[in-house]
Amino acid sequence: MQVMQGEDRAALSAATPTPNAAPVSTGPVDPPARASRPLLALTAILAVLWYAADQASKAWALSALADGRPVDLVGDRLQLVLVHNPGAAFSLGTGSTWVLTLLAVVVLVVILRSARNLRSRGWAWAFGLLLGGATGNLTDRLVRPPGVGQGHVVDFIDYNGWFVGNVADIAIVSAAILMGLLALRGIGVDGRREGVRPPDPSAQASGDARE
């Protein structure tokens, strides 16, 4: 058996990890953002309120506008007239009801997954409006004639003869505009601005210690 020299023992000691040794930091790592419960509650409240307003307004339209006669609000520029729409918002895509139904389900799933990192009030409003509007029209496609997944959406707001929409469409368009503005400002769902890193706590602590 060979006797281990001092240099060999030193090399072996350096190569063997110490159980209680702290891991080597390779740089600041951003922790995953956790959703803010108040903002999640705001999103849920907005979605429920807008969904309720959409379904209540459609029930009223089915009753009050059943005779098919238009009701002027601002002359003939803004009227109320009942339309059963097999397509998307503003009577688009009338021949793709099943595709639009599946697309609405995908949108809802994406919103719910994205909301796990919600820390922006603007995005909370956008998600709430989009959830309420998309769920309102999806409900029509699932429960109204002619059948599940192919139901016709109840539209009744006629915009100068260009298209006919409903309360859910107003929420969807408002959410799209708000999302566009947030994206232009570089504000993410987690509330951080694009290109701006949060302060590193360890670096701040080191700076305080030097002062």
Q: Residues 145, 132, 116, CA angle at the centre, nearest 5°?
A: 125
Is 54 a residue of the active site?
no
Average the pLDDT over 35-51 and give the result: 95
* 55 vs 115, more confident: 55
Instruction: Please enumerate in sequence order all residues whose Cβ is within 8 A of that of 134, keeping only pairs 6 or more positions apart, or say none.
Output: 104, 107, 108, 111, 168, 172
**3-class SS of residue 8:** helix
Nearest Cα to Cα of residue 78 among 136, 154, 163, 153: 163
Question: Whose structure tokens read 């379904």?
Answer: 55
- Whether the per-residue pLDDT at 25 is higher than 50: the answer is no
Amino acid in the structure at residue 155: D
Q: What is the pLDDT of residue 177?
A: 97
* 123 vs 200, more confident: 123
Is 169 a residue of the active site?
yes
Average the pLDDT over 14-33 and give the result: 50
- Whether the per-residue pLDDT at 41 is higher than 50: the answer is yes
Instruction: Report residue 145 as tokens.
Output: 């004639």
Q: What is the pLDDT of residue 168?
A: 95
- Note whether 125 and 200 are within 8 A (CB): no
- Whether the per-residue pLDDT at 19 is higher than 80: the answer is no
Q: What is the pLDDT of residue 44?
A: 96
Q: What is the pLDDT of residue 91?
A: 52
The domain limits of the chain are 37-191
Residue 170 DSSP class? H
Selected catalytic residue, list 155, 158, 190, 208: 155
Q: What is the pLDDT of residue 10?
A: 47
Distances (CA, A) of 182 to 85, 116, 120, 141: 31, 18, 10, 30
**pLDDT tens sequence across 64-113:** 999 999 999 998 899 999 999 886 555 555 556 667 778 888 988 999 89
Omega within 30 of 0 (cis) for the link into 146: yes
Chain Cα centroid distance, residue 182 = 12
Residue 129 class from Cβ within 10 Å (0-12 exposed, 13-18 middle, 19+ buried)?
A: buried
**pLDDT tens sequence across 157-207:** 999 989 899 999 999 999 999 999 999 999 999 999 876 555 554 544 444
**pLDDT tens sequence across 134-143:** 999 999 989 9
- Note whether 145 and 152 are within 8 A (CB): yes
Q: What is the pLDDT of residue 181?
A: 97
